[in-house]
Amino acid sequence: MPSPKPIVEKPQEKSLPETIEKPASPAIPEYPVPVSFSLPGVEAQNEFQSVFLSSLKEIKLLIDYTHLTIQGGFDELLCLNAINNVERYWYQIETVKKVLKYFRGRVLLCDEVGLGKTIEAGMVIKEYLMRNMVRNVLILTPSALVSQWKEEMETKFGIEFMTTDDVEASDDPERFWNEKYLIASLNLAKSKKNMPVVTRGFYDLVVVDEAHHLRNRATQAWKLINQIQKRFILLLSATPLQNNLIELFNLITLLKPGQFKTEKLFKQEYLMKGNLRKPSSRDKMRELLRDVMIRNTRSVIDLKLPRRFATTLRIEPAETERKIYQGLNNYLRKNGLNRLTLNLLLREAGSSPFALKESLLQLPGEDGEKQRIIEWVDSLGEVSKGKALLDLVRKNSKEKKVIFTQYVKSLEYITDLFKRNGIEHVIFKGALTAREKNAAIEQFRNEAPVLVSTESGGEGRNLQFCNTMINFDLPWNPMRIEQRIGRLHRIGQTRDVFVFNLSVKETLEDYVIDLLDNKINMFEMVIGEIEPILGHLEKEEDFEDLVMGVWLESANDGEIKAGFEKLGEDLVKAKDEYLKAKSFDNDILGEDYEI
């Protein structure tokens, strides 16, 4: 018979006097904490199900094992078979693997200018997406580079991004900043209006181009990146250090928050006392940087390109051409057209009178001054640029030459000129089908000595078998000019490259060429250097907006000349600042951080 259970008496609760109220429980603060999960591999899941994990040590071992399993998978990149129009250089592939395996998606990418940091970042983005390790991506960049990033991501990596250039960004900011794939101007993202919205979200991957803009911890740009909730972050800059080594502390704090408790401790451990530009021990600095940075250099990867030579032919306009351009200036200043239309007409006038006429015909109204300009265009025989082009093409007639123009009407004039003068050529433009484009390139490679190409036609095509380029006209965006040059002057080119620029005196295009050629010698610089130089202008407007601004703020030719002189001085200063930063980076970073 079971023994009876002992009776345990509960002590009676003492009732509190009615006059004394129980104190209210303090409110527990709530904080949103973003959490993301990635499923472990099958073997790791089996371990969880079949083994009793009795200690924290065993759990940590299993987590480390899972990390190693994931890392092992990065030995073969999935993205390599899913990207288009990208030359796969060994150093870029190894860089991407190292970002994924060793740095676990948080790194400074500091390759020298022109080695393809954008391509490396695009490959990392694509790899993470294909492995379902990220669901949303935010790319922050100077406003002038937003459209270029969008184009690269779509044409080379097959990823469609919304951008701050889209109307949705201003129409519905809340919805826009919640899109999965975003490319945004850093200046817009850090604005009072947008920053609270941006920092409320969580991003699996954040990419910051021209990351030297984050070097100062007191700026809104640095504060924005610091406050953004993120899992992975890539900081891109060819010149991450500009003034002193405290900038390095600021950048590392974004990559690895808390690694250094204070700036003071960082100085004590890594900097020479009293000198913010010199490390106390280069070995210690090297060890620190190897944990946060990859920097490929031309010398280490043995990239040796042939020389490049540029010549600008400044052409005297015929009397009728001068009338057309002066008449256009008068007409535009009187008619109150919007800035976009003004920009288009002035650029077309620099290209050819025939491109200009096409747009004038589409303007509403029967203005007598406009009609007079059209009549002058119709009265033209050969234009001065056409004569100069013929002379260039006839020299070394067997050498292949590619001619670039921005406008279809200018292309039609050039091809008609060549037909009339018996010059064999092939046309390459955006309206052609993919098959027609391939056929045109093959015909140029094997038969025709001349290729005439529009801007859209030449994108993504590499023409290393040709070493002479003629710019019939020039975009006002210097990075577009670099893209043209890069079609010829790239890895695989074995001969010196020759660039000829045609410009008609007294046009805005002539002022632009003078700035880029005579002031900063752009046409012979390393491809990619113009981007950081323009960044040192520290202006929010695109370069072509600065050009347009000079025209808008000038009432006559004298004021236009003075305006371009001032812009030229600013460009020279910007180039000097870039070269100083480049020298400082080379001194501190050297060639110790390549893959």
Confidence of residue 14 (pLDDT cuts 50, 70, 90): very low
Mean pLDDT value of segment 60-80: 71
Residue pair 223/105 in contact (Cβ under 8 Å)? The answer is no
Q: How confident is the model at residue 44 (pLDDT cuts 50, 70, 90)?
A: low
When pLDDT is averaged across residues 285-304 and rounded to a whole number, the result is 84
Residue 391 has pLDDT above 50, yes or no: yes
Which pLDDT value is given to residue 367?
77
List, for residues 538-594, the tens digit of each pLDDT value.
787 889 999 999 999 998 889 999 999 999 999 999 999 999 988 888 888 876 666
pLDDT of amino acid 259: 80
Alpha-carbon separation of residue 107 from 27, 204, 233, 255, 379 (angstroms): 40, 14, 7, 7, 61
Does the pLDDT of residue 372 top 80, yes or no?
yes
> pLDDT tens across 413-467, in order?
999 999 999 999 999 988 888 788 889 989 999 999 999 998 765 555 678 899 9
Across residues 322-349, what is the average pLDDT? Answer: 92
When mean pLDDT is compared across 42-56, 91-105, 271-285, 580-594, the lowest value belongs to: 42-56
Residues 125-137: pLDDT tens digits? 999 999 999 999 9
Mean pLDDT of 77-82: 91
Range 180-204 average pLDDT: 94
Instruction: Indicate if the pLDDT at residue 530 is higher than 90.
Output: no
Is 90 exceeded by the pLDDT of residue 116?
no
- Distance in angstroms (rounded) separating the CA atoms of residues 237 and 109: 6
Q: How confident is the model at residue 34 (pLDDT cuts 50, 70, 90)?
A: low
> Does pLDDT of 492 surpass 80?
no
* Domain coordinates in residue numbering, the chain: 79-294, 308-319+383-588
pLDDT for position 365: 76
Of 238, 138, 147, 119, give the one whose Cα is nearest residue 542: 147
Q: Which CATH class is domain 79-294?
A: alpha beta
Average pLDDT of 353-369? Answer: 89
Helices and strands of the chain, counted as H and E runs: 27, 13
Q: Are both 79-294 and 308-319+383-588 of the same fold? A: yes
Distance CA 111, CA 584 (A): 15
pLDDT at residue 336 tops 90: no
> Bridge-partner residues for 55, per DSSP?
none
Q: What is the domain class of 308-319+383-588 according to CATH?
A: alpha beta
